[in-house]
């Protein structure tokens, strides 16, 4: 049974191989730096973030993603700076993205800013042929995929206040093909451009209760349009719960707790709505965010993002 499930995952992976998408996150509103460089420094403090995602629990070779990031405004200027690392494992593949983000913000009113950002990324790709069900493990078509390096560049814009945000971004502009040693005319792995559009708004329902609907859309050639919709309630600026829906893919539940002014923990669970639910017990996501404040300042508004 395990072999059959692995082959099933490999069929999914093969689709990804020819039209590769970026790693997906249920709690994207906290992890915006990975998809939009204009987000760097937007929280007004140094923000350190770490997330682990285990997708499709129960399937051998299912995606597993870890990400760590740090971003901050630069002194009292309009510049923001960020660094991030994303490790994404799917079946026999293992990718690491090291990124640097720089943003510049322009006030458009007393409460709104428009930020522009650029992202530079170094991608390192590995393929382990011993995890493939192939007749000859030394087949040259699957060799020489250790630490393959590829640079990339991306950009984004981000319009935001303490209550609203809208963002449009392309994390990687350069499409690239990975060829085997046996045939340099046939690509076994292709990175495609991913287009993101995100938004959210915080409604004050009472002094102790806020509600934030949010959305994310992702478009990539060779894959269906991804649409994520979510709604979260924040109680007493400490505890939040919410639900999310990934169009034709999954229904999710999320929760988070502000442990201290600087430390926040969040969790998300995805329940598949596709045929994958027959083979998987769902997906789990957990993250920590730690923020360093200066001059005894703190974020006084209910920032969900």
Residue 38 · residue 167 · CB < 8 Å? yes
Spatial distance between the Cα atoms of 54 and 25, rounded to a whole number of angstroms: 10
Spatial distance between the Cα atoms of 5 and 217, rounded to a whole number of angstroms: 29
Question: What's the pLDDT at 148?
Answer: 82
Q: Where are the domains of the chain?
A: 36-177+188-292
Identify which of 23, 12, 26 has the alpha carbon closest to the alpha carbon of residue 251: 26
Q: Which two tokens stand for residue 3?
A: 């072999």
Which residues of the chain fall below pLDDT 50?
A: 1-19, 296, 298, 300-302
Identify which of 20, 129, 95, 12 has the alpha carbon closest to the alpha carbon of residue 60: 12
Spatial distance between the Cα atoms of 92 and 132, rounded to a whole number of angstroms: 7
Query: What is 184-198 written as a DSSP string?
Result: TTSEEEEE--EEEEE
Distance of CA 56 to the CA centre of its chain: 16
Give the CATH architecture of domain 36-177+188-292.
Beta Barrel (2.40)
């Amino acid at each position: 049974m395990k072999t059959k499930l692995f082959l099933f995952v490999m069929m999914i992976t093969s689709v990804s191989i020819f039209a590769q998408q970026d790693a997906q996150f249920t709690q994207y509103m906290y992890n915006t730096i990975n998809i939009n460089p204009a987000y760097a420094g937007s929280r007004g403090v140094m923000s350190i973030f770490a997330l682990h995602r285990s997708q499709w629990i129960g399937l051998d070779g299912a995606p597993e993603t870890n990400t760590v990031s740090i971003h901050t405004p630069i002194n009292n200027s309009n510049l923001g700076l960020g660094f991030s690392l994303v490790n994404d494992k799917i079946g026999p593949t293992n990718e690491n993205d090291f990124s640097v983000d720089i943003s510049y913000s322009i006030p458009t009113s007393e409460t709104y800013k428009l930020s522009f950002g650029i992202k530079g990324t170094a991608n390192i790709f590995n393929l382990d042929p011993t995890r493939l069900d192939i007749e000859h493990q030394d087949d040259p078509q699957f060799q020489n995929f250790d630490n393959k390096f590829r640079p990339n560049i991306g950009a984004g814009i981000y319009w935001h206040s303490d209550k609203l945000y809208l963002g449009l971004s392309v994390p990687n502009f350069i499409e690239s093909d990975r060829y085997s040693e046996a045939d340099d005319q046939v690509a076994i792995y292709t990175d495609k451009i991913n287009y993101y559009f995100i938004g959210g708004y915080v409604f004050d329902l009472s002094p102790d209760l806020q509600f934030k609907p949010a959305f994310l859309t992702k478009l990539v050639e060779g894959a269906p349009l991804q649409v994520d919709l979510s709604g979260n309630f924040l109680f007493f600026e400490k505890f939040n719960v919410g639900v999310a829906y990934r169009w034709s893919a999954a229904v999710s539940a999320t929760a988070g707790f502000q442990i201290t002014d600087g430390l926040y923990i969040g969790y998300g669970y995805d329940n598949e709505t596709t045929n994958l639910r027959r083979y998987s017990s769902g997906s789990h996501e957990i993250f920590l965010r730690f923020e360093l404040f200066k001059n005894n300042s703190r974020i006084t508004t209910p920032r969900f993002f």
